Amino acid sequence: MASIGKIRIISPETAGDIRKNQIIKQNIPEGHLTEKIMESALKGTPMIQIGSGNPKLMLIAGIHGDELPPQIAALKMVDNLVIRDVSGTVFIVPFAIPQATRKGSRRFEGFDMNRKASSGGSLSNKILKAIKNLKMSSAADFHATKPHSNPGVESIFCSKKPCYQSYEIAEYIKKATSSKIICHKVAGTLYSGALEDECNLSGVPAVTCEVVSQNNRLDPGSQERSYLQMEAYLEYFGVI
Ligand SMILES: [Zn+2]
């Protein structure tokens, strides 16, 4: 069984009552651990540590509060990892912005947090700092995309420069899940401030994974698809 560390709070101003989001409430796993994570979200952005040693990986969900499948999948991942052997450390942020998840909002304080990771003091920048301070080996950010939007298909965003491993991780997840790869030559050239890009630019190989679901909904199979992407990501590093 993997050890579970104390739940850290990355940022207090995002605090919110996740249980007020009915879809989340009806679909999260029941149990003491879920309760504890919900309680901690009342204090801010929770980060759960499972296991110890290297590699150190971070899974993030809920940078967009209205994208529900990965947030539920992340909680299930916490539940499943604690009952098995984990070789290394997995840090999980199941709700990056509890307040936005409660409200079903894509934005926080008026901004898209996946364009703000390079702005000091923003929530996504605080997550980036935690990734750097804890010397993470890699990070993966999980989202859901509406059908017919951008990208609108189940996919993995990655880049080849400066971290070629970003692309290799994406290839592995593609083989395991058949999600489509969307690869940029250089991280952050299309727009700046995406958490994945800022990780790659800081030398921490990262990917963004998308499953298809309407906003504020849990389309059939979407949380399971998100879970599979998370699992493939951890398998790439031999952690599970
Ligand atoms: Zn998103």
Q: Could you give the CA distance from residue 180 to residue 212 in angstroms, rounded to a whole number?
A: 12
pLDDT of residue 2: 86
**Other CB atoms closer than 10 Å to residue 101's CB: what's the count?**
30
Beta strand pairing status for 206-212 and 88-93? unpaired
Cα(231) to ligand 1 centroid in Å equals 19
Identify the segments of the chain with pLDDT beneath 50. none
The answer to whether residues 115 and 194 touch, using CB atoms and an 8 Å cutoff, is: yes
- Provide the whole-model pTM: 0.98
Cα(144) to ligand 1 centroid in Å equals 6
Cα(60) to ligand 1 centroid in Å equals 11
pLDDT of residue 5: 83
pLDDT of residue 133: 97
pLDDT of residue 3: 87
pLDDT of residue 162: 98
Q: Could you give the CA distance from residue 172 to residue 88 in angstroms, rounded to a whole number?
A: 19
Instruction: Name all domains of the chain by residue range, CATH numbers in brackets.
Output: 8-236 (3.40.630.10)
pLDDT of residue 101: 98
pLDDT of residue 6: 83
pLDDT of residue 121: 94
pLDDT of residue 1: 81
Cα(145) to ligand 1 centroid in Å equals 6
